[in-house]
Amino acid sequence: MSLKIELENGLKDALRKSDEVRKRTIRMAMATAKLLEVEKGKPLDDNDILAVLQKELKTREETITEAKRGGREDLVEANQAEIQVLRAFLPQPLSPNELEALVRQVITETSASTIADMGKVMKVLTPRLEGRATGGEASNLVRKLLSGS
């Protein structure tokens, strides 16, 4: 089942159960996806929807950081609830060991040996992450492994 259909079904379920947090969160993600679809001028595929969900997740994580600085515990709780809703639609994250194994495999495939090869590694690695790890986590690990530290 496509991710778009999963979101639509999740929204219908939230409406039936009167789950305001789930309903609001899914609607915001779907609205963002619809805007991107209009910009692109074609229907979004699962990778595009996945990118939208990850962006929504990152936005909420940043909001939590700012809300903690401002002492706004109500915003922290609300955003944490929305993060849980979004994570239900994302694939299971890679464990640190799985991510390291994948990075090592790509480094071997690309014959990368120095930090100057990082772009080459990330170009191959990023599509394989499929939303199961952030680009930041992956690039930090690639940098660490290529610099030998």
Q: Residue 89 carries which side chain, given as an amino acid letter?
A: F
* pLDDT tens for each residue of 69-116: 999 999 999 999 999 999 898 888 888 899 899 999 999 988 888 888
SS3 state of residue 17: helix
Task: Assign 1 a pLDDT band (cuts: 50, 70, 90).
Answer: low
Instruction: Please give, one letter per residue, the 3-state secondary structure of 80-148.
Output: HHHHHHHHCCCCCCCCHHHHHHHHHHHHHHHCCCCHHHHHHHHHHHHHHHCCCCCHHHHHHHHHHHHHC
Q: Residue 82, Cβ neighbours under 10 Å: how many?
A: 23
Percent of the chain with pLDDT over 70: 99
In the chain the domains, ranked by start, together with CATH numbers, are 3-87 (1.10.1510.10), 96-147 (1.10.10.410)
Residue with tokens 């639509």: 8
pLDDT at 38 over 70: yes
pLDDT grade for 46, boundaries at 50, 70 and 90: confident
pTM over cut 0.85 = no
pLDDT at 131 over 80: no
Residue 130 has pLDDT above 80, yes or no: no
